[in-house]
Structure 1
Amino acid sequence: MTLTQLEIFSCVAELRGFTLAAHRLGISQSAVSHAIKSLEQELGVELLRRHSSHIELSNIGEQLLLRARAMLGLANTLRQEAADARGMKSGTLRIGSFGPTSTIRLLPTILQRYRQAHPGIEVHIDEGPDRQVLQWLEERRIDVAFVVLAEERFDTFALIEDQMVALLPIGHPLSKHAAVSLKQLCSDPFILTEAGSAELVSRLFMAARLQPNIRYRCSQLLSTLDVVSRSEAITIVAEASLPDDPAPRYIKKPLIPPVKRQVGLAVLDKRQASPAALAFIELASHIHRQ
């Protein structure tokens, strides 16, 4: 069993296809098939079930995938430690990012400074909803993730704090209020934005024993803003996620009581984090201490 075989298996399992995995890895499809077949023969088990239009993992394949990702993560850390000994002139850093707050407001400045300090590190950025980014981190698909704090299952590092705000259509009756409560937001159709703080918003209503009238779910903030602007729904989002718009087509109101949100970085275990990941965290923390 080799790390190359495990990397190919992990890629096939993630993409659910030999052709897609071959394209991502930059190798032939026959090489992918041969690696999987050799791994299955060595282990004496079927890892993947082949169907006419797709593949799926067997039960033992699911178990091996978790072990494979752990081994690949450790191997990447070893490579990074060796690169660190050489002055961190090469290596890879995999970052998970969610929503406009991390992808647009935080990441560009940090990444620009990081590339200046470590030009030899190849940076991969995966974007997805906050829940998916957490899953990627747990499965070791990424090295470091932007997260909404607190997340007790990981080692975390706070970067910024902002507040949650209600967004209302222009002319909405609640727009006359200085601030609005969760209870006041339960009657109108509600849109849940799954790009950033969906978990936090859901927990807010649950803790207050309230149920919003969820009619829409959007994966992109811009779609959410469009629905609110057309007076079809109201919502709650993080203030830092909103675009800099001199003439927004919605009304922004703080919540009563105020709800703060912290955004930071997370790793599975800082003791096992790669030098590239630790350098990224140190730089990001320094930028946002200024």
Structure 2
Amino acid sequence: MTLTQLEIFSLVAELRGFTLAAHRLGVSQSAVSHALKSLEQELGVELLRRHQSQVELSDIGEQLLLRARAMLGLANTLRQEAADARGMKRGTLRIGSFGPTSSIKLLPKILQRFREVHPGIEVHMDEGPDRQVIQWLEERRIDIGFVVLPEERFDTFALIEDQMVALLPLNHRLVVRSDVSLKELCDDPFVLTEAGSSELVSRLFNAARLQPNIRYRCSQLISTLDAVSRGDAITLVAEGSLPDMENPRYVSKPLSPAVRRQVGLAVLDQRQSSPATLAFIELATQMNQR
């Protein structure tokens, strides 16, 4: 068993296909097939089921994929520790990001500075809803992720804090109020943003035993803002996720009682994190303590 075989197995499982994996790795499809066949023969189990142009993991393949990713992560850490001894000139860092708060307001500045300090580190970024970033961390598909805190299952590092705000159309009856309650947000059509802090929004309503009148679900914040601006619905979002705009076509109101939101970085286990991951954490926390 080699790390190359495990890398190929992990990538085929992620992309659900031999051709895509071969293209990503820059090798022939036959080389990918041969590597996986050799791995299955050595282990004595079927890892993948082939279905014409796609593949799916067997039950044992699902179990072994987590082990394979863990081994690849540790191997990457070993490489980076060796690189660290040489001045961290090489290495890879995989980052998971969610919503505008991290993808637009936090990550670009941190990443720019990180590349200036560590130009030899190759950075891979994946974006998805907050719950997706959590899953990627658990599956070891990323080294570090931006998350909404608290997250007790990970080692976390706080970066910024903002508050949850209601977004209302300009002519809404509640715009004259200084703040609004969760209960008052249940009377109108509600648009839920699947990206960003959707899990936090759901938890807030559930904890209050309230049910918003969800009429729309949007995968992107810009679609949510458009729905509110048209007067089709109201919503609840994090203040830090809102774009900097002059004369926006909506009004934001804080909640009563106020609800704070904290965003930070999370790793599966700080003790096993690579030097590049630790360097990113240190730089990010320094930049956001100013």
TM-score by length of 1: 0.98
C-alpha contact 2:95 2:125 (8 A) present in aligned 1: yes
Per the alignment, residue 70 of structure 1 pairs with 70
Per the alignment, residue 145 of structure 2 pairs with 145
State the 1:222 CA deviation: 0.5
Pair 1:103 & 2:106 matched: no
Matched residue SS, 1:46? coil
Runs of 4+, deviation exceeding 2 Å? none
State the 1:53 CA deviation: 4.2
| C-alpha separation in 2, matches of 1:215 and 1:36 | 46
Per the alignment, residue 8 of structure 2 pairs with 8
Quick one: which amino acid aligns to residue 66 of structure 1? L
| C-alpha separation in 1, matches of 2:34 and 2:119 | 35
5+ long unaligned stretches in structure 2: none
State the 1:52 CA deviation: 2.4
C-alpha contact 2:93 2:276 (8 A) present in aligned 1: yes
State the 1:251 CA deviation: 1.0
Pair 1:25 & 2:25 matched: yes
Matched residue SS, 1:192? strand
Pair 1:81 & 2:71 matched: no
Per the alignment, residue 43 of structure 2 pairs with 43
State the 1:277 CA deviation: 0.3
Per the alignment, residue 259 of structure 1 pairs with 259
Per the alignment, residue 175 of structure 1 pairs with 175
Quick one: which amino acid aligns to residue 71 of structure 2? M
Quick one: which amino acid aligns to residue 229 of structure 1? S
Quick one: which amino acid aligns to residue 35 of structure 2? A
Instruction: Give CA-to-partner distance per residue, 1:111-138, whole Å, 9 cap, x none.
Output: 1111111111111111111111111111
Matched residue SS, 2:236? strand
Per the alignment, residue 133 of structure 2 pairs with 133
| C-alpha separation in 2, matches of 1:275 and 1:105 | 24
Aligned residues: 290
| C-alpha separation in 2, matches of 1:26 and 1:32 | 10
Matched residue SS, 1:163? strand
State the 1:30 CA deviation: 1.1
| C-alpha separation in 1, matches of 2:33 and 2:227 | 46
Per the alignment, residue 221 of structure 1 pairs with 221
State the 1:54 CA deviation: 2.1
Q: CA RMSD in A?
A: 0.8
Instruction: Give CA-to-partner distance per residue, 1:144-166, whole Å, 9 cap, x none.
Output: 10000000000000000000000
Per the alignment, residue 206 of structure 1 pairs with 206
Instruction: Give CA-to-partner distance per residue, 1:7-63, whole Å, 9 cap, x none.
Output: 000001011111111111121111111111111111111111111242111000001
C-alpha contact 2:191 2:224 (8 A) present in aligned 1: yes
Quick one: which amino acid aligns to residue 14 of structure 2? E
Quick one: which amino acid aligns to residue 104 of structure 2? I
C-alpha contact 2:17 2:53 (8 A) present in aligned 1: no
State the 1:97 CA deviation: 0.5
Per the alignment, residue 230 of structure 1 pairs with 230
Pair 1:91 & 2:96 matched: no
Pair 1:272 & 2:272 matched: yes
State the 1:231 CA deviation: 1.1
